[in-house]
Structure 1
Amino acid sequence: MNCCLSLEHLHNEPRLVQELQAGNEEAFATLYRHYSPILYINVLKIVQDPAIAEEIIQELFTRVWQKKDAKGIVENFSGYLYRIAQNLVHDFFRRLRRDQQLMKRFGSIATRNYEDVEEQFYQKQSSEILQKAIDQLSQQQKKAYELVKTEGHTYKETAEIMGISPFTVKEYLAAAKKSIRDFLVNNINLLALLIFVFCLAGRHLS
């Protein structure tokens, strides 16, 4: 997925994090300078508002400083940043529900990112949200969708299994994908969170 940039580790990161935990402001500044631009770009791609993205990043590193004694951050500092960022983005989605103008604008952004998110669902095969969307399909749409997307059959093979034409398989799949997309977009806060999670979770965060 190409929507986000990866969080690359610093070569001396464990030492810097240990110094951060000891209250070393210079170590904190080094970590901030390294990670904040990458995180800002990633968050901006999701929220599409520079001021909101900057607010999220500033709050993220404020929490890092305030909770610098947290356990386990030396071993996986980038993962720690990711978890805080995820929580802050989730908070943004809660605010989104109360702001209709922002919700409308964000809905178009999430829709444009849908294809990438759907592809990540297929690869991970672990999304409860996707399964809920699939379960709402008609029996024929669901069968065609699962044969092609889950089991990897061709349109021709699916047509033979279902006793229909390849053209009808194509129509079922098109209708199924539209239904799934509509389901996810109607659950806009979940879709938005998933866009962010899949942007970062597949990268080098551990």
Structure 2
Amino acid sequence: MPDEPPRRPPRPPTSQDLEDYEVMEPSDSLSNEPPGTDPLDRGVATPERWSAGMRFGTTDAEQRQGESLDQHLAEEEPDTALDGVDKEQAELDAELPPGLAGEDPGDEDVDGLLLDDPEPRAGRLVAEDEGAHPAEEADLVAHDAGISGGAATAEEAAVHVVPDDDYDIRSGDQDGEDGEAWDEYEEYERYEAGEDEGDD
């Protein structure tokens, strides 16, 4: 057999982009640094502020001890956003009467107040016969039996007290031009009969 040249071991696959991750020599760099300075030899410029690792509470003993009140107060920052508001409020207070100056409706504690007074609940309406006795009343009449246990069904909660209106058409208090009580049903009957057609 003729002598064959020795085979080389296969080369691992390489990428042409690997050159982008290599550290360039200072002479090959296009930076503005003077030649001969190695970028890896430069020191690190520390920031001009305290490091978070140097603050209080990084050790076990400090964490068990906790920060004192003076340390908490030293960490507080003043709220400068309200300085201009105080000046504007002082100018507005100067225009008000002496009794009203300095009062702000927003300062009142309204957490426990309701925005609107709730309507009084009517409770449970019970008929005179209570649904178990023969009806002695021809009309549908019921009385308020009060709230049962403080909880009401949806139907009971929908019932509310309507105050008497001075101009309720059912009470006969609203008078017409002739001084007689105005009746809605009589007006409707006159309209149906065509008596009001010429009254324009």
TM tier, smaller: under 0.3
Scaled by the length of structure 1, the TM-score of the pair is 0.17
Scaled by the length of structure 2, the TM-score of the pair is 0.18
Larger helix proportion, structure 1 or 2? 1
Flag the structure with more relative contact order, 1 or 2, with Cα contacts below 8 A and sequence separation at least 6.
Answer: 1
The structure whose Rg is larger is: 2
